[in-house]
Amino acid sequence: MYLSASSSIRKKIKLSTLFNVVYLVALCLFCYFQWNTPNNWQQFITVLIGCTIFFQFFTCRKEISYKQFGFWFIMLSYLFIFGRIIVVGLNLSSTMFGQMTYENRFRADDMYHTSLFALCAIQSVLVGLIAKNNMKNENASGLKWYDRISDYQMRMIGIFILAFSLPLRLYIDFRFIFIAQSQGSYGGISGVSGYITTLAYLAVPAVMMIMLSINKDNIARKLIFYIVVIYNLLIMVLSGDRRYQMTTIIAFFLLYQKEKEGRTKIWKIILLGFIVFFILRMLLTIRQIRYGGLSDIPGFVQKYLFFDFGIEDVFIETLSEFGITFFSLVGAIQYVPMSIPYSYGMTFLYSIPSILPLGLILGDLFKAASPARAINTLTNLNVGSSLFTDMYANFGWFSLPFLIIAGRIIRRIFKDTGLGNQKMRDVIYYSQFFILLNLVRASFVEVLRSSLWCYFIPYFIYYLFTIKKRTS
């Protein structure tokens, strides 16, 4: 009986999971035996990155598709952590960011050890993403509240949420544009209340609900998609703000593609390549002028055409710019625990009260929830944060098991069973997508409130809409 049960469990273990667990163990052992910093360590790490990505693609190509959160989180983690390392490792030269010598502020040993940790950290998240629960059926969780929503209810809830979130979204965006245009720089923009910003984020799931409640053959659905994309592109151009605008565009694009049936045609793939090149080139132009030179649309077009970025330039400058997040993690490894003690998970607990409007009372607690604040103060660099920075500041190298758990949690959040109301499930999926994707560039406390509000507020409104019907 015991042998039969054990055999049954072993059959459920997917080879891809087993291979990646073995690779993670091998990678950790490799880091241990290769701890001394080699000469030309950037080239060494670049080769190791290439081997790891190839292995991950080969073993997980059937597990994770480009429409899934896991794919984007892993790929953008490589971009934001290793971008500048790859540029140096491939002996490339950055025109725009070559003068930004962050590397000179840190010891080579710390940067090399950071690279080793980051590789193990990304691999740990991947193991959690592809590992399945072998003791029970993951799809047997039953129907959720949103599976009972009709298209009409979904549209009404979306319109109701949009009625109060859109004015806030417009207020924030046009305020940013006014400040940026009047000063000619993104640097003068000051944020608004975090709770107003979070309510404004609800415009994303609201528009998604309205868009998917419309018949897929209706031209209105396509029109909504294009309006969202164009609006966010214009906000980026005029204000210099880019982070949530880009994740919004990515989320809507993937949602729109998921709802379309049939295989993608070759000409559409080629067209998509040109669009990606155009957007990356646009992001680089914005980066070039955002701290002095922001202007109106005609002025931006002139500057866009002036900067002669070819395909190779876009590749190099994209890696160079986005790769500065690496130095947030380097700062953590350099100063934790030498100057800043390990938090042992407390920063995640400190983040929980941020869900409620308690900023005036617990403002200092929320600051303590972001280790990057103290780290960036010591390094005197404004390079953001990441999930990996948070984890290292809490547990050091012992954060790897916790990152596997984080991958499992992400898998649960973005689980698609194919049951129930698929449209509303897609809304929940991609509204969480556009927020949680920022974990490659932001701390846990920055995304927690927005993530939970975008899930529970639609539920609360659905509950209010249906309570009368249930009690009658």
Q: What is the pLDDT of residues 115-162, one digit of tens each?
A: 999 999 999 999 999 987 544 444 444 556 666 778 888 899 999 999
Last residue of a domain, one of 396, 413, 430: 413
Rounded Cα distance, 188 and 123, in Å: 38
Please calculate the CA angle 406-410-413 and round it to the nearest 5 degrees: 140
Is 446 domain-assigned? no
Is 267 domain-assigned? yes
* Structural contact between residues 449 and 354, judged by C-beta atoms closer than 8 angstroms: yes
Higher pLDDT: 29 or 103? It is 29
Structure confidence at residue 137 (pLDDT): 46
The average pLDDT across 193-197 equals 80
Q: What is the pLDDT of residues 233-276, one digit of tens each?
A: 999 888 878 888 999 999 999 998 887 765 666 777 787 788 88
Amino acid at site 350: Y
Angle between helices 422-436 and 203-213 (to 10 degrees): 150
Is 451 domain-assigned? no
Same domain, 295 and 328: no
| Residue 281 pLDDT level (bands cut at 50, 70, 90) | confident
The per-residue DSSP string of 386-424 comes to -HHHHHHHHHGGGGHHHHHHHHHHHHHHT---S-S-HHH
Q: Is 455 left (phi over 0), alpha (psi -120 to 50) or beta?
A: alpha
* Structural contact between residues 335 and 371, judged by C-beta atoms closer than 8 angstroms: no
Is 204 domain-assigned? yes
Q: What is the pTM of this model?
A: 0.89
Last residue of a domain, one of 392, 413, 434: 413
Same domain, 367 and 402: yes
Helix (H) or strand (E) holding 342: none
Rounded Cα distance, 96 and 299, in Å: 20
Same domain, 301 and 346: no
Same domain, 256 and 356: no
* Structural contact between residues 180 and 189, judged by C-beta atoms closer than 8 angstroms: yes
Count Cβ atoms within 10 A of the Cβ of residue 41 and give its class: 0-12 exposed, 13-18 middle, 19 or more buried.
buried
Same domain, 295 and 340: no
Is 302 domain-assigned? yes
Same domain, 326 and 242: no
Same domain, 283 and 175: yes
Q: Is the model's pLDDT at 54 over the cut of 60?
A: yes
Is 430 domain-assigned? no
The average pLDDT across 383-409 equals 95
* Structural contact between residues 196 and 176, judged by C-beta atoms closer than 8 angstroms: no
Same domain, 247 and 339: no
Last residue of a domain, one of 276, 307, 338: 307
Q: Is the dihedral of CA 333, 339, 340, 344 positive or negative?
A: positive
Phi and psi at residue 113, to the nearest 5°:
-65, -35
Is 152 domain-assigned? no
Structure confidence at residue 167 (pLDDT): 96
Same domain, 172 and 298: yes
Count the residues in the chain.
472
Tell me how many domains the chain contains: 2
Domain limits for position 256 = 167-307
Same domain, 301 and 337: no
Q: Which of 218, 215, 221, 213 is nearest to 151 (CA)?
A: 213
Same domain, 282 and 327: no
Q: Is 68 left (phi over 0), alpha (psi -120 to 50) or beta?
A: beta
Q: Which of 100, 112, 110 is nearest to 323 (CA)?
A: 100
Structure confidence at residue 291 (pLDDT): 60
Q: Which of 342, 324, 351, 345 is nearest to 441 (CA)?
A: 324
Mean pLDDT, the chain, integer: 84
| Residue 283 pLDDT level (bands cut at 50, 70, 90) | confident
Same domain, 349 and 385: yes
Is 390 domain-assigned? yes
